[in-house]
Each structure stands twice: as structure tokens, then as C-alpha cells.
Chains A and B, each alone.
Chain A
Amino acid sequence: MTETNTPAHSPPPPDDPTPESVGFSEFTGTLSYGVFLCILGASAIYFAKDFRAIALSQSDPGPRAIPVACGVIMIIGGLWQFAVAWRKRQQSQTDRDQLPVPSELSVDETKQRRRGNLRALVTLGLLIGYVILLPTFGFIVATIVFGILVLKNFGSPWSEAVIATASISAVVYVLFVNLFQVMLPQAIQQLQFF
């Protein structure tokens, strides 16, 4: 059961009403994936040289075999993605020549996309900040700050941000700490307010 929301592996319904993919264009996506694969593959091969192994059997291909094989396959796959991207670009240029009007994004759509990108970037930044602050400030303080900031970033009014954050923190705390006896990160001693 393939179970994600990736548009790539879920066959779209014939008249899918969901908005268009928010990712790269097919050309940019394929090209970026190719670059990613080549870098990852080359890094995998480069760092595999540092593996120090005790040889147990002459017949064992060793700990480097699979990582290096993966690295080589990824580089080949990356180059293949470049070729696919190039072919797609040629194809889209041919298609564009045949189309009467080139499709361009409207000013509103461009603005919306930019806003969306910025919101995702801020969300990611807040999440990284939350993870960094969690061991220092502990679960309660860090979650309250993170919850309010992230909800404000999503466009919540102050009242909603505060009430929702308090509810989420309380539910998670009760569920994990009281019900399942999980120790959540505690603030360092100098900062223990709770």
C-alpha cells in the first residue's frame, strides 16, 4: 500500500480539484533531483573510504560494498535524471512553439506563491529553533513559544494562537507524561519556571 500524499505516486482522479503541485516545474524538479543524487552518491563513495573494518572472511564483500554500490548507482541515476530533464526541456520547447499563447503566472499567483514559500520557510525556521531551544527551555516553555509563533505565521489571531497552543501543549503533556510516563525535555536548572 503506497501511502503518502505525493502527487507523484498517487494516480490523480480524472478531474482532480486539488490545487496544482506547489513544487518545482518538472524540468527543475528532475534536474534538482539529478544534482542531489550526484552529490549524495559522490559523498557516499568519498566517506566510505574511512570505514575501518575487521576482515572476518575473505568471501565477505565488506562494509563498503553496499554503500559504494549505492553511491555508484546514485551517480548513474543522477546523470540519467539530467538526460531526462534535458529531454523534457526539448519537449516543452517544442510544445510551446505549437501553443498559441505561452502560459504565464499572473501577478497575484506569483505573489501567492512567494507568500507560500516564505510561510514554509518561516515554519521550517521556527521548527529548527524549537528543536534547538527544547533541551534548554524544556517542553512547556519551548512549546508555548513555538506554538504561538507558528500559529501567528499561519495567520491565526492572538486569541486563537494562545488558546490553541495551551490546548495542544496540555493534551501532549497529559498524553505523554501522565498517561505514558514519557520524560519530556526539562529546562536546564537555571531556567526551571515550572
Chain B
Amino acid sequence: MSELLQLSVLLPWILAMLLGIFVGATPGLTATMAVALIVPISYHMSATAGLAMIIGVSFTAIFAGDIPATWLRIPGTPASAAATLDGFQLARKRRGNFALMIDLLCSSIGGIIGVATLIVIAPQLAKFALKFGDYEYFWLGVFGLSMSAMVTMGQTSKGLMAAVIGVLISTVGQDVVSNAHRYTFDNIDALAGLHFIPVMIGLFGVAEVLRNVQGEQTLGSSSGTGERTSFLSTIPEIWKRKWLVVKSALLGTIIGALPGAGADVAAWGAYGLAKTTSKDSEKFGTGAVDGVVAPTSANNAAVAGAWIPALVFGVPGDAVTAIVLGVLMVHGIRPGPMLFEEGGAQIQSIFSVALITQVLLIPCGWLGIRAFGLIQMLPRRVVLAAVLVFSTVGAYAINNSMFDVGVMVAFGIVGFFLEACLVPVVPLILGLILGPLVEEKLRAGLIASSGDFTPFLTRPICVCLIALLVLAFAGKPALRLLQRRKSES
């Protein structure tokens, strides 16, 4: 705990949070991208400082996305899309700062509830996770891959295929079991496989810049700011809605914990729940404070929720935690149930960082709201050019290798193409992360069972996971069929 308060940790932590505010508040730049940009820097810090930077940036970027959503009706991140409704309507009524202050406080409270749930649930889940063997992990990996595609809003088949592409990419390099060189084409740099950070920077950073440059007609535009509101004046408003905050945060945590689902799904889910259970549902969309409170409490809680499968099973719940898992491994921390058994200090450190981040979010977010006007004075084209340079240097800095920069550019083109085809790229990233787990566990399981596939299908936890998988894919169509038959009869 005392290490967290040292200047060598606190300073980069706060700077990273401020970067998170800047990136999150800039439409087109996502929280994932903010984390991907901070990773090369975190490699050169101590494990605690690196972790603090990444946790800090992920939470602040999600909050900061609400700033342009409220003022300009342009969500900074997809998780902030719900803020374009009531937050923006409040801004039109000259209450934009009031909406953002409520937003900030609810983000912080939502994050605390999410982290508290993580602290309570994760160790219990870890005890259960110790019962997992190769067979169970294989199905868990398949489940994670499938879920990431399932939640891609009507693009399931495209998402599933993107996940398969990710798995295929994960096979590049030297096979650890047989030493076979897979898709290396005699390139020595490719023997270690494709580092997922350049892939991430390419898919999110470069592709996003290209998309913006192609679509945006006013790259030189900048925006202004609004009125001032006292931070303390928002506390009574939130107190009136305390149960809505708790309800939305818990829902956000649960959704965040599902692999592939995330802050954007959580925000819309909480907004929908708040609207359907509200007595004044007709006021939603016209500047209802409830419509600001619910999604913002949920999206930050979802960030914490995504850490549950990441820490307990080593299976990332989203792209941000996927990057974080990589960073943890670089610093010698192996996520999984054993982390809770053996890495007490490390897990305490992660929990402490996550909790303190929620507190630090308030001053950093306040600064962000105030500074938004100044930052937005920069022409958008300058920000995009800076992202390209930063992405290139960031990819290079990981291994001091131009090969990684090439990988970044290649995946920038792939990401741009996939986005143009309306293909979600997040399943691809999860495929890249979960691919080695699925392959390793499949092969280890088959070797252990002398080639017999039966244990994969008969062990109790495997059966449960297969049932969940079938339910996830067949449940909705079956329900629809049932309803159609009912209406016909």
C-alpha cells in the first residue's frame, strides 16, 4: 500500500489518468486505444506503477467519453453513447456541467461498487476455479470466444469468424510443443509469434485514424465549452437516486464479467432497465437525471467486472483486460486461480490500485471537464497526426523492432478493411489472446487422455459449459420459434 503512495508510482499513475481523460474525451479514440498506447510506456516502469497506469487509464477513459457525448452529442467511446441522450439534452438546457458532475460522481461510485464486488467474489470464484483442469479450460476458452461474437449485436457470424481469424493469427510462430515453425516464412522475428500490442495498436489506433480521415469532412474543426456548476450541488441529486446507482452498477459488473460483453452493452442495459422500471419513463431522452445516472454508473462498474474472469480464470472479459493480461505476464504475474493462492500481495496491490483509482477519478475527471474546452481547441487533424506518430513509436518501443511496426501497419489495414465490412474487431483480439489457451488445453487434454475426447464431453463442469454454449446459441432462435408457433396457434 505504501508503495502506491510513492512519487514514482503516483506521478505516472495520475499522468496516465489524465491521458485517459484526453483520449477518452476525443471522439474516435477509444479506451482500448488509450490502454494500448500506455502499454509500451508501462513496460519500462515497475510492476506496480505499470499496473496503476493501465488501471487508471481504463477507468478514466470510459468516464471521459461522456464529456463530448454530453457537450457535442458525439460519444468519446462507444460506452458513452447513452450519454448522448439525456446528458446532451441537459447540456442544451444549459445544465451540461451539472450533468457531467453527476456523471463523474456516479462513475466513481459505480467503479467502487464494481471493484468491491470484484474483491468479494473473485477469491471465492478462484477456489472454484482450482477444480478446473485442461478439459474445463478448453471449454472456457471456447465459451469466451463464442460470447465475444454473440454480443456483437446482429453480427454474430461475422464476429465468430473474426474470433477464428484471431485464433489463426495466434498460431503464428514457433509451436512450443513440437517446435514447428508456423507461418513464419523464414522470418526470425516471426518465430516468437505476433505480439498482440502492435496488432491492437494497428486494429484500433491506425484503423480508427484512417476511418476518421476517410469519413470526417471537418478535420480542422474544434469545439467550445459551457456553464459552471458546483461539484457539491450534485451530491443531493445522487443521494435521491442511490438505489438506481447501486442497481445499475451491479448490472454493469455482471455484464462486464461476461467475456466479450462490456461497458457499452452495460450502459445500454442499465439505461433500458432504468427506463422500464421508472415511474417517469416518458421523461427519458428529454434530459432526465436518471438517464444520466444509470448508464454512467454501469459502464465504469463494467470495467471492474471485466477483471473478474481475467484475474480468476486468466480469460479476458474484453479488449482492455486482454491487454492488461499481457502486461501482467510481462511483469511476472500469472492470472488464474493460483494467483489468489500464492500471489496475495500482488492481488492486494491490484485491488488497492483499482479502489484508489476510483477516488483519483474525481479530481482527474474534474480537471478533464474543465480542460475539455482548452483541449478541444486543438484541430482534430493535429490529434490524428499525433496518434499516428505515437502508435508507430509505441509499436517500435516494445521490442525495439521494426517488424512490430510492420505488424502494426498491416493490422491497421486489416482493421480498416474489417470495419468497412462492418465486422467487429474485438472478437479477433479475444481470439488472439484465447487462441493459445484453447490450443494448449486441447492438446494437453488429449495427450493426458491418450487421444480420447470423452473427458472433454463428460466431466461435470465441461457439461455445464457445453450446455451454456448451446443455450447461448440456440436459446434465442428456439424462443423465437416457440413464440411464432404460439402466435400461429
Contacts and interface: CB of A to CB of B under 8 A. Distances in A.
A52 B180 contact: yes
Interface residues of A, number: 95
A180 B402 contact: no
A147 B178 contact: no
A3 B424 CA distance: 10
A66 B157 contact: no
B84 A1 contact: no
Interface in B418-471: 418-426, 435, 438-439, 442-443, 446-447, 449-451
A124 interface: yes
Interface string B151-162: 111010111110
A56 interface: yes
Contacts of A62: 178, 180
A137 interface: no
A180 B397 CA distance: 10
Contacts of B392: 127, 130-131, 134
Interface string A6-30: 1111111110111101111010011
Contacts of B181: 51-52
Contacts of B489: none
A32 B78 contact: no
B450 to A, nearest CB: 5
Interface in A83-137: 84, 112, 116-117, 119-120, 123-124, 127-128, 130-131, 134-135
Nearest to B218: A155
B47 interface: no
Interface string B3-43: 00000000000000000000000001011100000001100
A17 B450 contact: no
Given A58-B451, A156-B220, A9 B151 contact: yes
B381 interface: yes
Nearest to B69: A13
B110 to A, nearest CB: 13
Interface string B134-151: 000000000000001001
A146 to B, nearest CB: 7
Contact of A60 (B209, B213, B443): B443
Q: Helix, strand, loop or mixed for chain B's interface?
A: helix
Contact of B382 (A77, A164, A183): A164
Nearest to B166: A70
B263 A3 contact: yes
Contacts of A139: 393
Nearest to A20: B215
Contacts of A42: none
B420 A3 contact: no
A66 B171 contact: yes
Given A63-B175, A124-B413, A175-B41, A1 B158 contact: no
Nearest to B208: A5
A180 B393 CA distance: 12
B421 A30 contact: yes
Contact of B262 (A2, A26, A143, A156): A2
A80 B420 contact: no
Contacts of B158: 8, 30, 33, 81
A151 B381 contact: yes
Contact of A1 (B73, B152, B215, B306): B306
A154 B219 contact: yes
B213 A8 contact: no
A120 B161 CA distance: 26
A71 B206 CA distance: 27
A74 B165 contact: yes
A58 B178 CA distance: 12
A40 B166 CA distance: 12
A56 B263 CA distance: 44
B74 A17 contact: yes
Nearest to A33: B421
Nearest to A21: B422
A143 B263 CA distance: 36
B382 A169 contact: no
Given A1-B261, A1-B319, A164-B382, 11 more contacts: A1-B303, A3-B320, A23-B420, A30-B158, A33-B423, A53-B179, A60-B177, A77-B164, A131-B406, A175-B41, A176-B397
28 contacts: A1-B263, A1-B266, A3-B79, A3-B264, A3-B318, A4-B424, A5-B28, A6-B424, A6-B425, A8-B158, A13-B85, A32-B417, A37-B161, A40-B165, A55-B178, A56-B178, A62-B180, A66-B167, A70-B168, A70-B171, A81-B161, A116-B217, A135-B402, A156-B382, A160-B379, A176-B41, A176-B393, A176-B397
Give the 6 A-B residue pairs with the shortest CB-CB distance, closest first.
Answer: A1-B262, A23-B420, A1-B318, A22-B215, A154-B381, A10-B78
